[in-house]
Amino acid sequence: MIDLHVHTARCGHAVGSAAEYVAAAASAKVSVIAFTDHLPLPPGYTPGYAMPWVQLPLYVNEVRALADASAGSGGPEVLLGVEADWIPGQESLVRGALDEHEFDMVLGSVHFIDDWAFDDPTLRERYSEWTPDLLWGRYFEDLAAAAATGLYDVMAHPDLVKKFDYRPLVDPKPLFREAAAVFHECGVAVEVNTAGLRKPCAEIYPSLDFLKECRIAGVPATIGSDAHCPEEVGASWPAGRDLLLAAGYSSVVVFRRREPQEIPL
C-alpha cells in the first residue's frame, strides 16, 4: 500500500504531526508515504489554506529527519512532497520555493478560480454565479494551464470541480480527453485521490472515464488519500487500486527526488 498525499497540522486545516502520520502509516502497513503539505500562498490569501512561509524550512527539515529515522528503523519509506497551488501570475514565486528545497514530488492543484476557493465549503454559495458547463469548462482550462507550467510532477485531484456534486449537463468526456492529452504532452502524472469518496460527490478523483483517458494517452498515475488526520492514511486504498485496474493501469509511479519510478499494483 502506498499513500502519496497527506497533510499535517502545519497547513492550518489538518490535524496530527508528521511523526503521528508515519506511525499511522506503519500500523496501516503503508510502505511508502509522501508528505504533501500545502506550499505557502502569496500574501493576501486566507491563512488557513496553507502553511505560513516561516514554516516551510521547518516542514522540510522535519520530514527529512523522519525519513532518515524511519529508514533506520525499518519503518515506511517517507518522501518529502508538497502540494502547490496554481495561481496565475505567481509561477515565479512557486518556482523559487521549489528550487530552494529538494522535494521528492510536487503536486499541482487548482483550488482557486480567480479569487474563489471553489472547494471551500464555506464559499459554496458562489456556485450560483456559474452554470455547471461554464464552470467545468473554466476549471479544465485552468487545469491545462497549470500542467503546462512545468512546475509539477503530478496533477492532484484532477476533477476537484465535482466536489460538491455540481455536474455538467453536457458530456464531459471531451474535457477529459483534452486534459489527458495535455498531461501527456507536459509530462505530468495523474493522481488517483480517494478523498472524493469522503465528499458530497462520493467518488474518487478522477472519475473512471477521466482516468481511462489518461491511461489511453499514456499518462502515469499516482495514488493518495489526501489525509487530513492520521487515521485517514491509506484510506480507501482498495477502491483506488480497483479504479486504476479498471482503467487499465497495472502500475503506479512514486517520485523520488522528482524522478518517477514504477511500482506494480
Q: Which stretch binds Zn ion (CB under 5 A): 105-113, 136-144, 212-220, 229-237?
A: 105-113
Torsion angle (degrees, nearest 10) of CA 96, 154, 227, 86: 50
d(CA 206, CA 222): 12
**Nearest CB to Zn ion, comparing residues 195 and 253:** 195
CA nearest neighbour of 189 among 138, 243, 262: 262
Our finding on whether 193 is near Zn ion (CB under 5 A) is no
What share of residues in the chain are helix, strand, coil (percent, to 5)?
45, 20, 35
Our finding on whether 194 is near Zn ion (CB under 5 A) is no
Name the minimum Å distance from CB 253 to Zn ion: 18
**Nearest CB to Zn ion, comparing residues 8 and 109:** 109
> Which grid cell sits at 68?
532518515
Contacts to Zn ion from residues 38-97, by CB under 5 A: 83
Please list the alpha-helical segments (H only) found in 44-131: 56-72, 91-100
Residue type, 250: S
> Which grid cell sits at 153?
510532477
Q: How many residues form the binding site for Zn ion (CB under 5 A)?
A: 3
**Nearest CB to Zn ion, comparing residues 75 and 196:** 196
d(CA 120, CA 123): 6
**Nearest CB to Zn ion, comparing residues 109 and 222:** 109
Q: Which stretch binds Zn ion (CB under 5 A): 19-27, 141-149, 205-213, 221-229?
A: 221-229
Region for 18 from its dihedrals, namely left if φ exceeds 0, alpha if ψ lies in -120 to 50, beta otherwise: alpha
DSSP state of 229: S
Name the minimum Å distance from CB 228 to Zn ion: 8
Name the minimum Å distance from CB 226 to Zn ion: 4
Q: Which stretch binds Zn ion (CB under 5 A): 39-47, 59-67, 107-115, 127-135?
A: 107-115
Q: Which stretch binds Zn ion (CB under 5 A): 109-117, 135-143, 144-152, 206-214?
A: 109-117
Q: Which distant-in-sequence residues (6+ apart) come within 8 Å of 72 by Cβ?
A: none
Our finding on whether 191 is near Zn ion (CB under 5 A) is no
Our finding on whether 109 is near Zn ion (CB under 5 A) is yes
Our finding on whether 226 is near Zn ion (CB under 5 A) is yes
Q: How many residues does the chain have?
A: 265
Interface positions with Zn ion (CB under 5 A) = 83, 109, 226
